[in-house]
Each structure stands twice: as structure tokens, then as C-alpha cells.
Structure 1
Amino acid sequence: MNITQSMIDALPVLLTGARITVLYAVGAMLLGLPLAFLVALGRSAPWPPVRWLLDLYVSFIRGTPLLVQIFVLYYGLPGLGVTLDPVTSGVAALSLNVAAYMSVTIRASLDAVGRGQREAARSLGLSSSQTMRFVVLPQALRIGLPSLMNSLIGLIKDTSLVSVITVTELLRSAQLVIARTFEPFGPYLAAALIYWLISSLLGLVQSRLERRLHRPGPA
């Protein structure tokens, strides 16, 4: 069987796996983004124990491989009496991982909004929540959008690691095809091209969002 034909034959299975990959990434992003925002705010909280715990969480996640984190949740927790299925373990590991990285981006973006703008908003009668919503967050979003979108693109690729706990995402789908056909190059190449296509599409979305956020309003 030639390489092109093996790629074509593998496509139906790979596209099903790609759908699972996207669902995993989107699910982890939806769970991780609110957690990242809370962590970013908590690391600036006036309570030292909270700051220390959150700093430890971010340091641990950023200092250990994602694969090890997946193993800890899926294989390690049963030793403590907590058993998670592969789907829950995968989503939890991805969410906790991306939240730690995004919290750093969010914190830096919030800090980049000048204190003078906050004080000006308060002098105009805006409450703290209104200042955050109408003044700080829109500017922080423009600042942090590239890094946040890069996190999502990275998350698409990181989902391949959940294949080690038998989640049938894109990479695992390619492995199943290879186990049946004994033709590795075509399915792996097709999977790589699908990852590249998804990442490229997200890159286009990122560029469009950046242009829209930086577009000047009406005079």
C-alpha cells in the first residue's frame, strides 16, 4: 500500500479522533480559563497562606511534565482511594496544567494596565467591579490575547499525551489504525497534518481577533 492511500484510508478514523482532540482542548480551556483567572487574582491577594499555596501550585505544574501529571491523576490517585476514569483524568490534568500557565499571562496582563487608569476610573465614580469590567479587563484582554491563544494551540498538541491512558483522541486513533494495517508512516503523517491544520486555523482566528481588538472605534 502506498503512503497516500494509507493516509486516505486512515482519514475516517483520524477525523473522529480529531473531534475528540478538539473537544478535549475546548473543555480543558473552558475549565482552565476561569481557574487561571482566580489563581491570578489569588496570587495578588493580601493573605500570605493563599499566595503561598497558589505559588506552589503554579511552580509545581510548570516544573513537572504534563505526562507525569496525567500519570499522577490516573495511576496515582487510586492509591489514595480516588479513582478517575480516563476521560476525567485527561480533562482534569489538561485543565490544571493550562490554568497554571495562563494564570501567569493573566496576572501579567492585569498588572500591565496602569494604576493611573484604575484611579481615574474610581474618581469617576466606578466601583471596583465596574473598574475591573469596563477598564482593566478590556485592556488586559488585548495585551494577553496572543499568549492565551498560544496556550490553546499548545493545548491541542498536548492532548496527544492522554493517549497513554487509552483515550482515543487523534494520536491514539492513528495508533489503532497502525495496529490493524501495520503501515505506520501514512497514519502518523496524516495525524501530524491534522494537528498542523487545526493549529493553523486557530492561528488565523487569533490574527483576526487581534485585528478586531486593536481596531480603533468610531470617531
Structure 2
Amino acid sequence: MLTFLETNGKHTSIGCGTIIRCEGNHYTVLSCEHIFNPIEKIYARSFDGGKYKVGVLFMDKQSDISTVRIVSEVPLEVATLGDSTKLLPGTMVGALGCPLGLPNTFTAGVVSSVGRKSFELQHVDFQGYLKEVIVMDIVLSNGNSGGPRINLDGEVVGVNSRGIRRFYERGLARINRLGFAIPIEYVCKMLDTVSREGSPTFPCSDIQGN
């Protein structure tokens, strides 16, 4: 997993990403679109402290999916992708991320529901996008977005997208904790389409950080 930081003098963590492909010393990293938009200057940092420039390959606001590239002369671990269609309510899952600037933080919980349509979730700011999500009882804080949602075998089954800590209605707490992830099955289908047909949504460019 990589952590993305904004070059703003404070090096604020804005989200995470998962390495899903390696071609020589070029690595493709899967993340969320909303953590890169509209930030212009960021860099990536690995578990061992390595620092990398980031180049955007693909961004899609409707799905909240993005892929970026980094170049590393040191071999980096590529994640194993799982099967999100096998997830059921009650399945144990974990979330990796950098909540509140704490890198490589792991949180565990269970799947609450699968195939949940985003329009059903009126109190989550999906901005009318993300047609289908996995709902879990895991709180996602600032810095978790884009990180992997993994199963008990350590396989990536989703991409952390958004979360709710608590929703108040008439002064009463109605929701204590919920987290939402994009199913990896959906992600793979979209990236396969992009690979075959190209990306009409975002040209390849660099987001340079110091």
C-alpha cells in the first residue's frame, strides 16, 4: 500500500492506493478519484519510507476510481486481487489506510450488506455517483480513501471510498459507524474496458510533488 501526501508544507495525507500491476520498474496504483481532484501537487510514500512522483493514468468521477503510475528501481509488492462477488453479510474484512495521517493502519470489521445502491444512502455524499457499494461496519476517516479492503486471505476485494462516523437527526445519533467500498469486480471490469478502448475521461499527466 502507498500513502499519497499533498505538497503543502505540512505533507498532509490525503489518501492511499494499492499496487495492482508491475511492468519492469513501472507500477500501476489503484485509488479513488476524489482524493486527486482538485489537488495538483502530491507524492506517494511507501511503507519503507520510499518517496515517488505520481503520474495520473486514469480518473473517473462517476465511479470514483483512479489509477496512477510510479517508477521504482526497488521492487515493490503487488497486491493479489480477490473476488468481491463471494462477499456475504457477516464476512470478515479489513481496511488498510492512513487515517488522520497514521500510515499503514489496519481496521477490521464485517460486511453489513452487498450490492447496496448509492441512491439508497441519502446521508452519504456520493454526489450521485457510485452505483453500487459494499457496506461495512468499519469507520473510514480522512486518509483512508483509496486504500484496499481485504478479505481473510489478504486479497483485495474493494477500494475504500467513503464513510460515516455518526449521523444526527433531531439531536439523536442514528448511525454509529459505516464504511463504503467499491467492489473490486466492478473496478476490474472498468479497467479492462479502459485498457481495450482507452480513457476518454482524463489524459495521462503528471502530478508532481516535491
Give the TM-score band, short-chain normalised: under 0.3
Q: How high is the TM-score relative to the length of structure 2? A: 0.20
Bigger CA radius of gyration: 1
Q: Higher strand proportion, which one?
A: 2
Instruction: Tell me: higher relative CO, structure 1 or 2? Use CA pairs within 8 A at least 6 residues apart.
Output: 1
TM-score by length of 1: 0.19
